[in-house]
Amino acid sequence: MREAIIREVRPEECDRIAELLTQLGYPASADEVAQRLAYWLDDPLSRILVAERNTRVIGSLSLHAIPYLERTGRWARVESLVVDSAARRSGVAGALVQAAEDTAREWGCLAVEITSARYRDDAHAFYKQRGYTDVCDKSARFFKLLDSGAG
């Protein structure tokens, strides 16, 4: 099988990104993804990478760098990672994660964080194989949805 090419997303690929996000369990329309790409693509410390094979996008990863205040440097956060169900277990996710780590190094990041729902056992094994450690026993993660104030 041909190796995937890793590159930055193009705005016209919003329909394919929407399909991939839907496979991941986050249904999205092409219009919604186009709106999201508008703010992702303008941010110099945000990047959406795609894996392409035979001119078809078969995976995507979104990455954002966040500056530390308590130390010098930044850390990167993988916000989403998805590979088309027909291309899984073919090295695509590994190539996307490697490209994300390379990008994080270019940005001067000291670490990379990936969050994953507790029920995604295969994903957890994948991350551990690549040297990631589940640190939830060391640091709590608190989350709050904000009222948009509209309406």
CATH of the domain at 36: 3.40.630.30
pLDDT of the residue at 113: 92
Q: Is residue 78 situated within a structural domain?
A: yes
Structural domains of the chain, count: 1
* Side-chain half-sphere CA neighbours of 45 within 13 A: 14
Q: How do residues 104-140 score in pLDDT, each as one tens digit? A: 999 999 999 988 777 777 877 878 888 888 877 777 7
- The reported pTM is 0.87
pLDDT of the residue at 29: 96
Q: Is residue 146 situated within a structural domain?
A: no
Q: Is residue 136 situated within a structural domain?
A: no
Q: Which domain holds residue 27?
A: 5-129
CB 74 within 8 A of CB 107: yes
Q: Is residue 38 situated within a structural domain?
A: yes
pLDDT of the residue at 96: 96
d(CA 48, CA 9): 6
Amino acid (one-letter) located at 111: A
pLDDT of the residue at 124: 79
Q: In the chain, which stretches have pLDDT less than 70? A: 1, 149-151
Q: Is residue 137 situated within a structural domain?
A: no
Q: Is residue 40 situated within a structural domain?
A: yes
pLDDT of the residue at 135: 78
Q: Is residue 113 situated within a structural domain?
A: yes
pLDDT of the residue at 127: 80
Query: How far from 101 is each of 9, 21, 25, 142, CA to CA, in Å?
Result: 17, 21, 24, 25
Q: Is residue 114 situated within a structural domain?
A: yes
The C-alpha angle with vertex 128 and arms to 124 and 129, in degrees rounded to 5, equals: 115
